[in-house]
Structure 1
Amino acid sequence: MTQPQFEYGESVRLIRNVRNDGTYPGKEVGELLIRRGAVGCVYDVGTYLQDQLIYRVHFIDDARTVGCREEELILASDPWVPNLFEFRDKVVALRSFAIGGEVVVERGQVGTIEKVLRDLPDGVQYHVHFSDGRILQIPEPSLAMVDAAAAGVDHE
């Protein structure tokens, strides 16, 4: 087994969403525990099945301690590009989109995030699945959460 990459007391950032795999008490299996981007402090390092390092990380802002695999963490000081939306989030288009001059998504149309594209030179973009079955790649500033749009929040 390799040596731990992170030590007790180090600040780390979560780079993947962590959902309950059935080991977190009081939460449903599959329920989101901590969103990617959250920063926490390594509390302990242990093993799972004798070959996987598991870091017990305390996320102060969420008042929660969860087990994280090494590949789910980076140092908190490492470069990070935040994103507003996650897989399965319901979003609304803030403008219309056309392909070959034909409008295929109207402003206000609701879609579901299928994939987050964070490492693009033009900023964060998403694969969004719209109700007509189309999946389009949409830049983050062109989307809003369905709840924010319903509340009349203007993002333009």
Structure 2
Amino acid sequence: MFEPRQPVYQWGQRVRALGDLVNDGSFPDKPADAMLVAAGALGEIVQVGTHVETCTPVYLVEFDGQLVVGCFEEEIVAD
């Protein structure tokens, strides 16, 4: 088992999507592979958790005040 990696970003921090974020099946009301958030979109971290299998941080990011998407560190950057 891996030691959990400490998060780089914190709750309430503003971030931008580094690339287009697409549906991985987490949004059943949207088609698979549908674009959820365009690259460069601004969001705010509303929760920080840990991916159980890899012990890596997962960030719930609210984009446009309405859509919350789970992101890994390599998918976002501090604004």
Q: TM-score range by the shorter chain?
A: 0.7 to 0.9
Deviation, 1:24, is: 1.5
Report the AA paired with residue 40 of structure 1. Answer: G
Which residue is equivalent to 1:59?
63
1:37-58 per-residue CA deviation (whole Å, 9 max, x = no partner) reads: 0010000011222422210000
Paired residue secondary structure (1:42): strand
Once the two structures are superposed, the pairs formed by residues 20-99 of structure 1 within 5 Å of their partners are 20-48=23-51, 49-60=53-64, 63-76=66-79
**Distance in 1 separating the partners of 2:28 and 2:50:** 20
Q: Distance in 2 between matches of 1:39 and 1:3?
A: 23
More relative contact order in 1 or in 2 (CA 8 Å, sep 6+)? 2
TM-score (structure 1 length as normaliser): 0.46
SS at match of 2:28: coil
5+ residue gaps, structure 1: 77-156
Percentage of matched positions with identical amino acids: 35
Q: Which has the larger radius of gyration?
A: 1
1:71 counterpart SS class? helix
Aligned residues: 75
Measured in 2, the distance between the counterparts of 1:2 and 1:12 equals 19
> Does structure 1 residue 6 correspond to structure 2 residue 20?
no
Over 4 Å off, 4+ runs: none
Aligned to 2:74, the other structure's residue is in SS state: helix
Q: Measure, in 1, the Cα distance between the counterparts of 2:71 and 2:62.
A: 10
CA distance in 2, matches of 1:53, 1:3: 7
Q: Which has the higher helix share?
A: 1
